[in-house]
Each structure stands twice: as structure tokens, then as C-alpha cells.
Amino acid sequence: MIRGPRSGRGRGGTTAGKRRGAATPGERSAFRAFGLRTRLLLAFLLVAAVSAGTTAALTYREARNAVLKTAQDTAVASFREQVQQTGFGLPVRETDGGLQEVLRDVARKAKPHPWVVFAEYGSVRASSGENRVSTVITPELRRAARANPHGAFERVVKDGVPYLTIAMPMVFKTGPDSVLPSGLVLYAVMRMTDEQVNVDALLMAARDGALPGLAVALIPGLIAARSVLRPVRELRQAARSMGSGKLDTRIRVRGSDELADLARTFNESAAQLEQSVRELREAEARARRFASDVSHELRTPLAGMLAVTEVLDEDADDLDTDTARAVRLVSAETGKLAVLVEDLMEISRFDARAAELNADEVDVAETIRKTLDNRHWTDARLRTELPDGIRARLDPRRFDVVVANLVGNALRHGGAPVVIRLRTETRAEGAPVLVTEVMDSGPGIRPESLPHIFDRFYKADAARTRSAGSGLGLAITLENVKLHGGTIRAGNLPGGGAVFTVEIPLHAEGAGG
């Protein structure tokens, strides 16, 4: 029996491929930097490349083995037959010229390609060629020939040339199933250049077939990416549309796959959101309408109550002590109620977008002084830094409300002295603004209250259930500043105390129109 090829044996053995490691975090980040379309195409091409490469590799391996095995089996069978049909006189001597002639005769009958036949008998060496010793025959093949009386073969590569080397020992048959080695071993060395050419051609064909396959795979990859990305684009556009306020936006559902389920879920969520927003808007509209209606309904009876309380206030000194105290309490509470009703009506006008800005060019410092004089805030509790000559287009009535609310809030909840500071600044974009600051010397505003300080009816002090104001002063101040196209913010000074900063464009006519 002839031994089959030994994998990994010989000088032309293949090297093990490098194992690919996992992608580094940088590589993963770079992969995520690609768009979804690119990533889908890359994934599709990767699968196609792996499939094509695997198929080509398996096909190449099988075809290569078939080509090599055919040549190998033919050569081994032919050499074994020639050795069995050739007789040798033993012992062989180095001066025996007949041995070389026998080897040449065996070499002439080589299949499928020419052989060079070598003989080794102890220290005797002979061949059918010019060199008596082969440099291709390996020690491993010699050991295999001595160990196996049926012969062995091996494929090796020498200087880039592939060879098939066959070892066939001469034996004496001593029985039906037993042989005795004679010590003479014949070797056949056959070049396999033709097979190598065929194998290289197979490799080229596998490679050339895989590359067009990848190019063809790009077309279904583009189609698949488009079919996946189209619903995603529609979802993005729908989400953007809903974000702009179009809550009736819906996505067309196609098919019954996962993307269709996503579209249905989006539509259901959008419908529920639209219903919830509609209900909230209706509730808000009802609340605004209720506040406006109640304010209007209370205005007339309150006017009568205020007239009565004024008369009672004038005669309170002539009444007994308990009655006078009750009369003054009723008068004060009626005044607070009147202020609350007026503030509610003002807020209702802002909510209904009915508030108008009647701007005029005014001297800002003089306007602030009039606000303070009209409310008798001229004592030592206030300090002003009001440079003359600053003119701006403002609605005097609404700016008066802004200053009065901020100063009154500082006097009620802050600490004296209260500083009112006026100046102008130029923003980075080059627009000049009017800056009005109202600072007090109190404990300041608690950090958790700062985000809500301009909310309606918000009380920074939870223990303060009653206040002198309506609880809408800062909310009305915010709306008036917005109507001027400006901004207002609240904060705390480093040394203690609250500060409110109002910034209004110097030319704000029609800003809130």
C-alpha cells in the first residue's frame, strides 16, 4: 500500500493565517461615524465577501486537491509498477554500471511527467540523472521508507519549485503476507510545475470570480439599504414634523415586518399624543376663559365695593374701635381683591395675544423716577444709579409696571437698601440694549426657587400662604418684557441679595406686535 500525502510535511508547508482580533474602541467609534446607509452596505458587502471568499476557498481547495491527487496517484502507481517489474542483483556495488542503466530505463517509463530516479543501498548512491544524490529528498521521507515496506511519498517545494518525491523500498516476499526489506530503496523525483500552473490558474479564477460577485452584490445591497432606510427617513421626517407642531402627522404602513410594526407603533403613539395635547389645550383654553370671565364679572361689583370702602374709611375714625378695625380690614382686602382681578385680566390679555405695545421714545431715567415718585418710593430704602440722556423706544405704561413690580417685590421680600441701576450695553452681534437692574440686600432667592420665580402664583417661601401682592407680579413683568422683545433673569449677588436684570433692545418698537 502507498501512504497518502502527509499534511504539513515537507519544506513547502503552508503558514498558519493570522487570527483577526476584536475591533478596538477607536475602530468601533469610526464605524459608528458612518451613516446608516453606509453601515448597511458595508455589512451587506462583508457578508457577501465572506460568502464569496468561503465558497472560492472551498472550491479552490477541492480543485487543487483533485489536480494534485490525480498527478500524484498516477505517478505513485506508475513508479510502484515499474519497481515491481524491475529486477536487481544484490548486493549492489558502487562500481556496478548496470544499476544506473536500470534506473534510466525506469525513468524513461515515467508518468505523468518525467522522473529522476535515485537508488540508495547502504552507502551506495546512484541515479538516472547527473547527480547521484537528490537535494529534494528529505530525511523524513527516508525514515518513512525504512519504516514502511509499502513505500511513501511527499510533496515538497525547493527554491519555489514544487516536487513530488516517492520512496519505494525493494523487498523479498517471505510469505503470503510478509516481506523482508532488501536494503535497496528507489526514489522518484517529479517536478509538478504543470500542476502548479493549473493550481495558480484556479486561484486566479477564484479571485476573478469573487470580485465581480462583490460588485454584483452591491446592487441588492443598495436595494436592501433603500428598503430599510426609507421607513427610517419617513420616521425622522414625521418626528420632525410633529416637533414643529403638526401632531396629525402619520406614517404610511407597508407590509407586515418589524419596520411596519414600528410605523404602526409610531402612528398609535402620535394619535394618543395628539389626543392628549388636544385635551390639554382645551382644558387650558377653558381655564383661561374662566379666569377672564370671572375677572370681568367681578370687576363691576368690586368697583362698587371699593367706592363703599372708601366712604367707610373716611368715617372709620368716628366708629368704635372694633368696628373701625373691621372696616379697615374689609377695605384692605377689597383693595387686594381688586388688584388680583386687574392682574388676572392683564394675564388673560397676554394669553389671548391681545396685549399691544404702544411704544414711544422716552427718557428712561426720567420714566423710572416718575415710577418711584408715583408710589412714594423716595426714602432712604432706595438708591438709584440713573444716568441722564439714555433714550429708548418703550411703552411707558408697561415699563412702569415692570419697574414697579421689581422694586415692590424687592421691598417686600428683600432687604434695604434696594438699588436701581440703569445702563446700556452692546451685544456681540452689535445690537445695543438697555439694561435695568434691581438689587436688594436680603437673603436672596433659594437655588431651587430660581427656575420657577416667574411662574404664576409661585411662592418662594412655602410657609408664606398669604402675601401683599396677587402672586402674578413677576409673571406679568415677564410678559411685558417679552412684549418689548427683551429678556429678564433672576439671580443672587455674591455678597447676598437678589438681583433682577432686564435687557430690552434700545429700538424695540413693534417687538411684541
| CATH number assigned to the domain comprising residue 415 | 3.30.565.10
What pLDDT is attached to residue 330? 84
Residue-wise pLDDT tens digits, 153-179: 888 888 888 888 999 888 877 777 777
Contacts 24+ apart (CB under 8 A), 222-231: 222/41, 224/40, 224/44, 225/37, 225/40, 225/41, 225/44, 228/40, 228/259, 229/36, 229/37, 229/40, 231/259, 231/260, 231/262, 231/263
Residue-wise pLDDT tens digits, 282-307: 887 777 777 677 767 777 787 788 78
- Residues 350, 362: one domain? no
> pLDDT exceeding 70 applies to what percent of the chain?
83
320 and 305 in contact (C-beta within 8 Å)?
no
- Residues 82, 110: one domain? yes
Residue 212 lies in a domain: no
- Residues 495, 430: one domain? yes
Pairing of strands 161-173, 124-127: unpaired
- Residues 180, 55: one domain? yes
Q: Does residue 227 register a pLDDT over 60? A: yes
Domain range enclosing 318: 247-355
CA distance 230 to 232: 5
- Residues 425, 440: one domain? yes
332, 355, 378: which is the final residue of a domain?
Answer: 355
- Residues 283, 412: one domain? no
Q: Does residue 31 register a pLDDT over 50? A: no
- Residues 49, 190: one domain? yes
> pLDDT exceeding 90 applies to what percent of the chain?
18
CATH code (residue 44): 3.30.450
Number of domains into which the chain is organized? 3
Most confident of 284-293, 352-361, 410-419: 410-419
Residue 205 lies in a domain: no
130, 164, 198: which is the final residue of a domain?
Answer: 198
Residue 238 lies in a domain: no
Q: Does residue 73 register a pLDDT over 60? A: yes
What pLDDT is attached to residue 386? 93
Residue 10 lies in a domain: no
Give residue 10's pLDDT band: very low, low, confident or very high (50, 70, 90). very low
Q: Does residue 487 register a pLDDT over 90? A: yes
Taking residues 107-132, report their average pLDDT.
Answer: 86
- Residues 312, 442: one domain? no
- Residues 351, 361: one domain? no
